[in-house]
Amino acid sequence: MGLFDEILKVRGLVGNERDAFLNPSYDKKHDPFLLPDMQKAVDRLILARQKNEKITIYGDYDIDGLTATTLLLDAFDSLGYGSVDAFIPSRFVEGYGMTIDAVERIAEAGSSLIVTVDCGSLSEKEIIRAGELGVDVIVTDHHNVAAKQPPAVAVINPKRNDHEYPFIDLAGVGVAFKLVQALQTSMQGLDNGQEKWLLDLVALGTVCDVVSLTDENRANVYWGLKVMQKTRRPGIRALMAVAGVEPKQVTSRTLGFALGPRLNASGRLETAQVSLDLLTSKNGNEALEKARRLDDLNRARRAEQDEILKAAIEQAGKYIDDAVLVLAGEGWNHGVVGIVAAKIMEKFKKPTFVIGIEGEEAKGSARSYGDFSAADAIRFSEKAITKGGGHKLAAGVSLPTKNIDSFRKLVNQYYKEQRIENQEVYLLTKEDAIASIDEVGEELVRKISAMEPFGNGNPEPVLKTSGLRVTSVRTMGVEGQHVKLELMGKSGTRIQMLAFGAPDHFFVDKDAVITAWYQPVINAWKGVSSVEGRLLRVECE
């Protein structure tokens, strides 16, 4: 059995499942009407077009919400809706989700129907207020649901229990796409098959929201990457240009690490409207201008992030004995603290809350791993907070500044009461297969690329090789934070392996013998290609 076959077998991909995985079928999509309230939503939207009502799409400031908003704007235009606009909340004003103030402004502007994307499932008060103002609401969302649904015309959410839809892990943009598929059955203007041109947006939002790339998500992203390579959207073409991305070489990694951070930067520092304007732009020159603006904002985001990270690492030393790190600083931008929390968690191997203080109020984000639920810890600490919630591994919280110490004690008390042990094992990189360096060539890398798209639920394969002698060590970066190792296998074959932002123990001595966990990649330089390793874990033998 070859190494590639071994990787597939380890993941349970044999026989028909192997073929289905390597050749995802878009046509095996699930019936959109199996989602709850889909028919109610379609009926209300048919009525809205007949009466030429003004519709507002209520989005969100992250990529999932922005791509879902763009998708519905595009689809509604094709389906003949004459009066549709979008509302994107500000992270710093409205915060996540619907607000009564925003609903009142939308009603005052003349809308009689709101369609939410990526939010709304828990917005009972806001939807009641909309009804008082004569505005109907259709919710499309994928976040956790309430025990009792809010009084909307329809609440389309695969996480509801009262439906037969077979896949619950759609992103917000995926749910919006199902609404479009349902509308196609009753409306003209978007012929069957033409909705595939929306898959570039579906792929972008799905990958960046880190939902599971299995089932329908895998097919949507697989075909969405092909659409992305020849996208009709000036904004996406411009964004690829400023990010130095060759369209024909777009992968899920490109979306997550090149396009995604730039689109997110505006909402983290200013307003996500800049990103929406880019995605909806019809003019190439205008799109390029906005893409350059996002590139500038992303550089500013990285600089601000690095400054906060440095201060947070220093502060972490004071709480190093805590099982859960709760770090807080005056003026720490709460649009950036989530990224910082993830980096602190990786460095100290502890669940982490990073909180930005703004006078008497504070807002923060959490990142966790293993068995510790950040969302449950927030619920346990409800007497110290103003509001909070999220998921097991990522959550947000708002609280009075004076309560930060109490909050720190409560989340650590919660951790202790859970009797959680041996959590670091969850952070250790694990191999898909053991390989010799001689097996790691360009043919293997090309075969592995057939497993795209990679992401949550389908991580990029990791190889493990032992007995590697270090023949060269090279540090790189302004602060020497990156390392490139030249390693020689037992047969004498050599390979370069690179780690960005490497931990201290990656900087091994020359002639040391190590075991390496890595992902093989092809490096092309001046017309010459070679296989290198993206170094993930190192142990000295």
Domain boundaries, the chain: 31-191, 320-426, 433-540
pLDDT of residue 319: 97
pLDDT of residue 448: 97
Burial of 98 (0-12, 13-18, 19+ CB in 10 A): buried
Whole-number Å distance between alpha carbons of 269 and 237: 23
Written out in words, the top-level CATH class of the domain with range 31-191 is: alpha beta
pTM of the model: 0.92
Burial of 266 (0-12, 13-18, 19+ CB in 10 A): buried
pLDDT of residue 280: 98
Domain 320-426 has CATH 3.10.310.30: yes
Dihedral angle sign, alpha carbons of residues 460, 465, 470, 472? negative
Q: Which residues of the chain have pLDDT under 70?
A: none
pLDDT of residue 465: 97
- At 267-299, the pLDDT tens digits run 999 999 999 999 999 999 999 999 999 999 999
- At 332-391, the pLDDT tens digits run 998 999 999 999 999 999 999 999 999 999 999 999 999 999 999 999 999 999 988 878
Whole-number Å distance between alpha carbons of 21 and 8: 10
Whole-number Å distance between alpha carbons of 448 and 8: 9
pLDDT of residue 391: 80
pLDDT of residue 496: 96
The fold of the 433-540 domain, in CATH, is OB fold (Dihydrolipoamide Acetyltransferase, E2P) (2.40.50)
- Residue 26: how many other CB atoms lie within 10 Å: 14
**Residues with Cβ < 8 Å from 50, sequence gap 6 or more?**
none
What DSSP designation does 129 have?
H
Residue entry with tokens 């329809």: 154
Closest CA to 439 of 370, 518, 383: 518
With beta carbons less than 8 A apart as the criterion, state whether 455 and 483 touch.
no
Whole-number Å distance between alpha carbons of 329 and 415: 23
